[in-house]
């Protein structure tokens, strides 16, 4: 019993001595100082690298599995940029591909996109009617779409009226009566007889049964309504000739877009069959009425077509470049 008591006393004394030694050792500084902690910047929030609208109040992962990036109130240099200013991490800017540019005042440009169809320029379309009754003896134009040149023969006509007018002119020449000559010559001109034919008739004084008529302009035969042997009168539309050096495009815009359209606006046109090629034109005319069924407004566009690549009835996509007025 005495032996156990002695052992217990020795153990207690050893433990007390060890504790005293430990307490007498100097304390080690393993935690950062309060000053260093207080100087560390605190994030306002965390955002997803690929979507700055995804915000969280603590670190974590974005919907794409990427680490959220902190956003601080102060700039990287530590300088405050003013009350309420927010600085986004350069990492976020780089990931989003943000680009900056100076703010400028300018007129806001709108594009009215629509479709249209290429048409002949009606200003350059001529209709050919005879000035007299008669029969088509020879037809030099065979079909619609044929190319014709200026002063190229179109048809030869036999008409008793033309024969009679020639006879009057020849008779006036033989009588050498200036008054009758002028009157007979004026009648031939009124019947659309060319100056060349009158000059030859004046020299030869030989009346011809058939007279050939020539094209006043070059172009393409749009319509051909006669054949050889046809009997024609002044109200007969024998043919029409159009030019392709300049064409119209008939397009439609919605009623709500009507205020954006005005004459003279630039227009860009593309066609499917000539991909990559663009034509520049302008608004030529705005029709005064609205289509009551479709609620659309017709617009006529004008384009240069020196290469004759644009053909009537081709389908085209057009962009009318409109401008909104600057606010006062």
pLDDT digits (tens, 9 = 90+) for 197-222: 999 999 999 999 999 999 999 999 99
Mean pLDDT score of the chain, rounded to an integer?
84
Report the C-alpha gap between 317 and 113 in whole angstroms. 7
Closest residue by Cα to residue 154 from 232, 228, 244: 228
Report the C-alpha gap between 177 and 164 in whole angstroms. 18
Check residue 295 and give its pLDDT. Answer: 93
Per-residue pLDDT of 34-79, as tens digits, reads 444 445 678 888 888 888 888 888 899 988 888 998 888 754 444 5
Per-residue pLDDT of 95-128, as tens digits, reads 666 777 777 776 666 889 999 999 999 999 999 9
The helix (H) or strand (E) run that includes residue 302 is: strand 296-304
Ordered domains of the chain (ranges, CATH) = 35-96 (no CATH), 110-122+244-323 (2.40.30.170), 126-242 (2.40.50.100)
Least confident segment among 54-63, 127-136, 165-174: 54-63
Per-residue pLDDT of 175-200, as tens digits, reads 999 999 999 999 999 999 999 999 99
DSSP string, 84-111: T--B--HHHHHHHT---------PPEEE
Report the C-alpha gap between 265 and 259 in whole angstroms. 12
Is residue 309 within 8 Å of residue 250, measured between CB atoms?
no
pTM passes above 0.75: no
């Amino acid at each position: 019993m005495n032996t156990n008591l002695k052992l217990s006393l020795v153990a207690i004394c050893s433990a007390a001595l060890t504790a005293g030694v430990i307490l007498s050792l100097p304390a080690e500084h393993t935690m950062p100082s309060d000053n260093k902690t207080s100087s560390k910047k605190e994030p306002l929030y965390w955002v997803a690298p690929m979507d700055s609208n995804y915000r969280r109040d603590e670190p974590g992962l974005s919907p794409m599995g990427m680490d959220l990036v902190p956003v601080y109130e102060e700039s990287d240099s530590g300088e405050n940029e003013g009350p309420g200013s927010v600085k986004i991490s350069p990492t976020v800017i780089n990931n989003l591909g943000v680009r900056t540019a100076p703010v400028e005042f300018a007129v806001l440009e709108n594009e009215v996109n629509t479709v249209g169809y290429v048409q002949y320029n009606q200003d350059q379309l001529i209709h050919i009617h005879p000035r007299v009754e008669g029969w088509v003896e020879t037809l030099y134009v065979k079909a619609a779409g044929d190319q014709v040149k200026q002063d190229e023969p179109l048809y030869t006509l036999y008409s008793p009226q033309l024969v009679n007018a020639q006879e009057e002119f020849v008779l006036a020449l033989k009588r050498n009566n200036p008054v009758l000559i002028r009157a007979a010559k004026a009648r031939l001109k009124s019947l659309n007889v060319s100056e060349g034919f009158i000059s030859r008739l004046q020299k030869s004084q030989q009346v011809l049964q058939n007279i050939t008529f020539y094209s006043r302009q070059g172009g393409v035969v749009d319509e051909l309504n006669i054949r050889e042997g046809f009997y024609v009168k002044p109200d007969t539309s024998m043919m029409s000739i159009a030019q392709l050096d300049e064409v119209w495009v008939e397009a439609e815009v919605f009623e709500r877009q009507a205020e954006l359209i005005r004459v003279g606006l630039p227009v860009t046109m593309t066609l499917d069959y000539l991909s990559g090629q663009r034509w520049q034109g302008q608004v030529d005319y705005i029709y005064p009425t609205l289509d009551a069924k479709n609620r659309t407004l017709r617009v006529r566009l004008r384009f240069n077509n020196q290469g004759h690549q644009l053909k009537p009835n081709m389908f085209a996509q057009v962009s009318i470049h409109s401008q909104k007025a600057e606010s006062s």
